[in-house]
Amino acid sequence: MAEKRVINVVHQEGLKDLNNLLFVGVMMAVGVVLRLCAGFLAVAGMHPNFLIATYCLSLLIVRPKLHEAAIIGLISGCISQIGTSMPWINILSETIGAVAMALLLMLPLPVLIRPIVTTFLTTLVSGFSFIGIASCTYVSPMSAAIFGQMSMVALVTAVLNCVIVTILSIPVSRVMNK
C-alpha cells in the first residue's frame, strides 16, 4: 500500500515568501494611484502621502525583517519623488518611517489596537522627519507658520492613515491568511 503524500504549506514572514513580495508590490501600486489622485486634498499646497498608509498596511501584514522594511521605505521614498515639490527628502523620511513601523510591530501590542497605534506613530515619525529635513535643507530657517502648516498635514495624515489601515487590516489579513 502506497504512503499518503502530505504537502505542508509554510507561510513565511518577510519578503522571502513570493505572496508577501507580490502583496507589497500591489500595495505600493495602490499607494501611487492614491498619491496621484490625492491632489484635490491639498492643504496649504501640501497633500497627504497615502504611500505611508500602504506601506504601513504592508508591514503590518507581512512582518518583514528590519532591513526589508528599510528597503520598502526606500522604494516608497523613491516613488514619492513623483510630483514632489521638495525632491529627495521623502527617500530618507519614508525609510525612517518604515523602519519605525517595523520596530513598533515588535512591541507586544494587543491585536485590535496594533494597526491604530503603529500607523499613527509611523506617520508622525515619517512626517516630522520630513519636516525636520525640510527645515535643514529647503526652508531654513523655518517659520512657525510653515512649521504649523506642515505639522497639521502630518497630524491629519496620521489620523487618516489610522482609519484606512485599521479598516483594511482585518479583511486583508484574512485574504493573506495571516
Q: What is the pLDDT of residues 118-166, one digit of tens each?
A: 999 999 999 999 999 999 998 888 899 999 988 998 998 899 899 999 9
Q: How is residue 81 annotated by DSSP?
A: T
pTM check: above 0.85: yes
Q: 96 CB contacts (<8 Å, ≥6 apart)? A: 73, 125, 126, 129
* 43 pLDDT above the threshold of 70: no
* CATH level 2 (architecture), domain 18-175: Orthogonal Bundle (1.10)
CA atoms within 13 A on the CB side of 135: 17
- Preceding amide of 115 cis, omega within 30: no
Work out the end-to-end distance of the chain between its first and last CA atoms, rounded to an integer number of angstroms.
37
